[in-house]
Amino acid sequence: MSIVDRPTSGSSLLGGSIVMPANSCAHALPPRLVSPWAGEPGTAGTVAVVGAGKMGLPLAAQFAGHGWTVIAVDVQEAVVAAINEGRSHMGEEPGVADLVASAHAAGRLRATTDGAAAAREANVVVLIVPVMLDARQQPDYRHMDAAVDAIAPGVHVGSLVIFETTLPVGDTRDRFAPRLEAASGLRADAEFLVAFSPERLFSGAVLRNLASYPKLVGGLSPRSTERAALFYDSVLDAEIVAMSSAEAAEFSKLADTTYRDVNIALANEFAAYADRVGVDIREVIAAANSQPYSHIHQPGLGVGGHCIPVYPHFLLSRAPELTLVARSREVNDGQIGVAVQAVRDALGGLDGAPVLVLGLTYREGVKELAYSRGVALVEALRSAGARVLAHDPLLSDADIRSLGAEPYPWGSPCDARALITQTADRLWRALDPAWFPDLAILVDGRNSLSGLALPPGVAHRGIGVPARG
């Protein structure tokens, strides 16, 4: 065998997502339109998708693309108007704009703000509005409660209601089914059916993921599970997994996302130890992951976005005894402090120091600021007294100002003494240190700029990577 520096095989050498092959469509299209729809293979009915956002609109387009009549429901008039003109308001999601346009042109996709009317007309209602966290890190149900209350008067005998939004374990059965029963006057799992099916898609690859990730489904009883599984089998090209209960399906999404948070926290702790013993954590992780049971993710400046930092708290809201989960949240949120301390050490203090943050969205290429560590980093630097500048190719100057930083025009001369990369945007590779004549340190927060040549005297500090300069 040949001798190599790094393992050349293994499905998760770097940790994180493994690309799964997309299944091609094996449905006989178009299906036969029926009303009411009772799950017969080869047939389609009407589905209401409640919440036509980053996840809901691609879902609506996918369902329409498989022959269903789709009514998108949203509280935002502008979203409804765009869909009714055949336009996607989700500029960056590959393939969605075309699918929305063709579904609309074929008369299979329209939108409304009237949830009750949509539910009345629909055989299936899919809810995909956000459940976030409140200031006490408890689930904030205001959007979902409002959406459930809006559709409930339209739920009728034979309706199938599916929750795709991530929920704490037990909410489908104990919080939302009774709410639907109270408003509709019908019995759940008897006169109408209720299931949970977690949305597990990745922004930027939603349509591809829909064709590859197995679709998990768990109902209030096997009856609800079976109907929901038949629905997804008619609209998706992926494997459908009929689970034993709604609770098992709810838990699976929290387990998947929390696993990633805990895994990244472990990688961050390993990175701190790698710093202490002077080895490169990337070499260690790549080597460890060449054993097929090891799937260590990458260290960095913490975890952002709607999902990974949020769902551990959904678990903790019901199971505070999960101390490993709580500790992992602390470790990941604490990574911002690692960057701030590195800059403080290099400059001898932060008071009045100009610091440029590169990347404010939670990850490169996705215009999403929810729980972004970039926002937290700006706040931490400002409260330590620094003058904070920032650049993000996805944000306008006004966006950047609203987050408390001065916009930095890419490529212009700048008096920054420290740079911190908070995303791994490819744009940073074109960075020219000559733009920053006073530069003392680059904190490479995602270990993506190890190859960047820096002038003598400028320090490079990665996360678990031997220091340079």
Largest CA distance in the chain: 74
Closest separation in Å from C-beta 42 to ligand NAD: 29
Contact between 195 and 219 (Cβ < 8 Å): yes
Query: Nearer Cβ to ligand NAD, position 73 or 210?
Result: 73
Secondary structure (DSSP) of 165-187: S---TTHIIIIIHHHHHHHH---
What totals of helices (H) and strands (E) does the chain contain, helices first?
15, 18
Query: Nearer Cβ to ligand NAD, position 3 or 78?
Result: 78
Closest to 365 in 3D by CA, of 129, 132, 94: 94
Nearest residue to ligand NAD on Cβ basis = 53
What count of other Cβ atoms lies within 10 Å of the Cβ of residue 434?
9
Closest separation in Å from C-beta 366 to ligand NAD: 8
Query: Nearer Cβ to ligand NAD, position 199 or 275?
Result: 199
DSSP 7: -
Query: Nearer Cβ to ligand NAD, position 131 or 301?
Result: 131
Query: Nearer Cβ to ligand NAD, position 82 or 358?
Result: 82
C-alpha span between 397 and 406 (Å, rounded): 8
Query: CA 296, 297, 299: angle at the middle one, nearest 5?
Result: 120
Does the active-site annotation cover 215? Answer: no
Closest separation in Å from C-beta 57 to ligand NAD: 8
Closest separation in Å from C-beta 161 to ligand NAD: 14
Closest separation in Å from C-beta 202 to ligand NAD: 7
* Alpha helices per DSSP H over 66-195: 77-84, 96-105, 115-121, 142-151, 171, 177-184
Residues that bind ligand NAD (CB under 6 A): 50-56, 73-76, 79, 128-131, 143, 146-147, 150, 165-166, 199-201, 203, 306-307
Options 54, 215, 307, 414, the catalytic residue:
307
Closest separation in Å from C-beta 1 to ligand NAD: 41
What count of other Cβ atoms lies within 10 Å of the Cβ of residue 460?
19
Does the active-site annotation cover 54? Answer: no
Residue count of the chain, please give it.
469
C-alpha span between 418 and 460 (Å, rounded): 10
Helix-helix angle 311-318:246-277, to 10 degrees: 110
Query: Nearer Cβ to ligand NAD, position 153 or 222?
Result: 153
C-alpha span between 374 and 304 (Å, rounded): 9
Q: Which residues are catalytic?
A: 253, 307
